[in-house]
Amino acid sequence: MSNPVIAVLNGPNLNMLGLREPLVYGPDTLEDVEQLCMDVALELGVAIDFRQTNSEGELITWVQQCRGRAAGIIINPAGYTHTSIALMDALLSADLPVIEVHISNIHRREEFRHHSYVSKVAQGVLCGFGIRGYAMALTAMAELVLDQEDK
């Protein structure tokens, strides 16, 4: 059988990683994050579909398209984390395991970043580990989806 596909979806402004605010988000670019995910996925025996968009609608369309195509969703919803009931609804109806990732520790930052709509529908949340959080999420997701395949 072919390797299960894990969607790694990134929300608005994450295309600016490494280009601005290195003190908050670190020096790595989104390309570095994608390379890290590809390396880890290869080791784990999963495939990844890595994307970034600045549009809420496009992010929601991608989540909808995961149903039947992907085995799980890793998402850094960026600013939509704290605002988007529509994204939460889409994740819920995708009926797939969801892991939420944030590069920074959102709970050490401004009050408005402390609440996440996405956490309500996520299996787990990783925040504050920098871009390593993506690798950790992939490891956790691979365990979930490969376990599921055995059943």
**Active-site residue among 25, 80, 117, 134?**
25
Calculate the dihedral angle through the C-alpha atoms of 14, 19, 25, 30, rounding to the nearest 10 degrees: 40
* Options 60, 90, 94, 103; binder of ligand CA2; rule CB under 6 A: 103
Alpha helices (runs of H) in 5-55, residue ranges in sequence order: 22-25, 30-44
Q: Is 117 in the site for ligand CA2 (CB under 6 A)?
A: no
How many beta carbons lie within 10 A of that of residue 1, not counting itself? 4
Q: Is 14 in the site for ligand CA2 (CB under 6 A)?
A: yes
CB burial readout 119-131, b (16+ within 10 A) else e: eebbeebbbebbb
* Options 17, 46, 70, 121; binder of ligand CA2; rule CB under 6 A: 17
* Options 3, 5, 13, 139; binder of ligand CA2; rule CB under 6 A: 13
CA 17 to chain centre: 15
CA atoms within 13 A of residue 66's CA, in its CB half-sphere? 31
Q: Is 78 in the site for ligand CA2 (CB under 6 A)?
A: yes
Is 80 labeled as catalytic in the residue annotation? no
Q: Is 20 in the site for ligand CA2 (CB under 6 A)?
A: yes
Which residues sit at the interface with ligand CA2, rule CB under 6 A? 13-14, 16-17, 20-21, 25, 76, 78-79, 81, 102-104, 106, 113
- Residues serving a catalytic function are 25, 102
